[in-house]
Structure 1
Amino acid sequence: MNVSTEPVILKLGGSVITDKAADQGVVREDSLRRIAKEVSEYRGKMIIVHGAGSFGHTYAKKYQLGKVFDPEGAIVTHESVKKLASRVVDTLNEYGVRAIAVHPMCCTICRNGRIESMYLDNIKLMLENGLVPVLHGDVVMDLELRACVLSGDQIVPYLAKELKITRLGLGSAEDGVLDNDGKTVPEITPKTFEDFKHYIRGSGSTDVTGGMLGKVQELLELSKTSCITSYIFNAGKDDNIYRFLNGEPMGTTISPDKRV
């Protein structure tokens, strides 16, 4: 087991832990329990971020959050993703993970849909004291839009950059970024992105945050500004999360451009 002394960030895609095709929130219980077991076997510090899946995207689309300000829609969507966060945290704690929910609505301000500021001192203290912060896609207040949808895919690179975390992975329902033949693209860098962009599709279900293309673009921006390498891999396959947490390269690597 290769355990780093530095925290690692693990993103759990909404399509892995929920049925994103469902009109109402439906948890994939077997998948969530398997993930919790694999996470519990890791002995290092970590932050977990999970997508909203069928608990958030349906309501966000219904109320057109980010396009119009709807107080009822903001409340309904936030309460729905809180329910999912509670299920995730409860399941992790059943396996001894010492997880605790951190709701972005309570600690984040956006401007035009992008994070302006996030209170992180509590997360730093949690990591120092053996707790596992669990954040999630959420509705947050926005200085221009009044409220917006904040994707977990945006939270992950923000945390990595601000907390100087060097290893992060996005666990999706695919083996990584797939080419036209369904094969995993081994590596994407800012320079090679245009070669692969036409392969990368959005989500096949209701997703207001950009699907796979959105994930790749967020991680590429991170690589440009911080030289962080990240991974997009299949969290739906047994042992992949355990392997990622313990240092194995997985799926598609999103890397900075090679320096001459």
Structure 2
Amino acid sequence: MNTAICVTPFEDMRLTMPNNKIVIKLGGGLITDKSQYKLVREERIMSVCKVISKLKKNEDSVILVHGAGSFGHLEAKKWHLSTGHNIEIIDEQRLAVKNVRNDMMELNNYVLKYLKEFEIEGISHPPSKWANGLGPQFKGDISKLGDEKKDTVQVTFGDVVDVHNEKEFGILSGDDIMVRVCKEIPGITHCIFLLGDTEGLLTRPPNEEGSELITLWSKEQKITGKHESSQDVTGGIFLKAESASKIAQNVANVWMIDGRKPERITELVQTGNTIGTKVI
């Protein structure tokens, strides 16, 4: 006797729903100590990679972007790389460009190392090799970051890139790369900024009394923050908020959460909510 199998609409939806496609930004202040040259926080990288491995086992897709932290900002600040060509110090600047690019590859290798510990192959895409120009309008083929293969993660980062005008070079922020990835790669379901010293956007700087978490934020709301210009050459929390706002035009789930507690990534993906700031 033939037995009919009844599939409910809900079960059928589960069978046909696409997997999550998640873009994660590892903040430079999360994975390095920005005040000390090339001091990496390996345990934080490892804990995030552990969560990524769980996402991959759930057949979710992950694209990883990381910041520079003390592997890029301090040297870039010293030689004014963000402002481009300066004839008075151009020889030192060109040497610094090479050094920062090498330092960024070194930091990137830490990320690849810990992905590999969880049996994930990180495919690295250094922007100095494929991008030119600054801001989210930079030129470069983003599509390569959308390649999806089992047990692999596409990885890129903020970097010193060539600029095809009188500036010669400049700093391409990982936040600007995030904007382009989330705009041009189809099917992104989540964009998550992992912060290094706070649970999300706050009403005041995290070390000030009375500072409270903003759980829902849009660009119409003013934020008060502190930009450590001595350590950061790209814009800090203000650029992150601006970038997240742009991304929210295309992606439904845009969040800023505490990267020191990466289990909140899993909670967010599984339940749709966590402790942090949702950007709309």
TM-score range, shorter chain: 0.7 to 0.9
- 1:150 and 2:166 matched: no
What percent identity do the matched residue pairs reach? 25
Give 1:183's aligned residue: 212
Per the alignment, in what secondary structure is the counterpart of residue 156 of structure 1?
A: helix
Give 1:65's aligned residue: 81
Give 2:6's aligned residue: none
CA distance in 1, matches of 2:273, 2:80: 38
Q: Which amino acid aligns with 1:220?
A: S
CA contact (8 A) 1:13 1:172 kept: yes
Give 2:5's aligned residue: none
Change over 3 Å in CA distance of 1:59–1:116 after alignment to 2: same
Q: Deviations over 1:157-192 (max 9, x none)?
A: 11000113231010002100111322110111133x
Q: Which amino acid aligns with 1:34?
A: S
Change over 3 Å in CA distance of 1:153–1:121 after alignment to 2: closer
Q: CA deviation at 1:98?
A: 2.1
Q: CA deviation at 1:105?
A: 1.0
What are the within-5 Å matches in structure 2 for residues 42-61 of structure 1?
42-43=55-56, 44-61=60-77
Change over 3 Å in CA distance of 1:135–1:240 after alignment to 2: same
CA contact (8 A) 1:142 1:148 kept: yes
CA distance in 1, matches of 2:266, 2:230: 27
Give 2:11's aligned residue: none
- 1:17 and 2:3 matched: no
CA distance in 1, matches of 2:251, 2:50: 31
Q: Which amino acid aligns with 2:142?
A: L
Give 2:132's aligned residue: 109
CA contact (8 A) 1:10 1:171 kept: yes
CA contact (8 A) 2:120 2:151 kept: no
Q: Which amino acid aligns with 1:63?
A: W
Larger radius of gyration: 2
Give 1:208's aligned residue: 233
Q: CA deviation at 1:68?
A: 3.0
Aligned length: 246
CA distance in 2, matches of 1:86, 1:244: 28
TM-score of the aligned structures, taking structure 2 as reference length: 0.81
Give 1:139's aligned residue: 160
- 1:235 and 2:255 matched: no
TM-score of the aligned structures, taking structure 1 as reference length: 0.86
CA distance in 2, matches of 1:53, 1:176: 18
- 1:169 and 2:185 matched: no
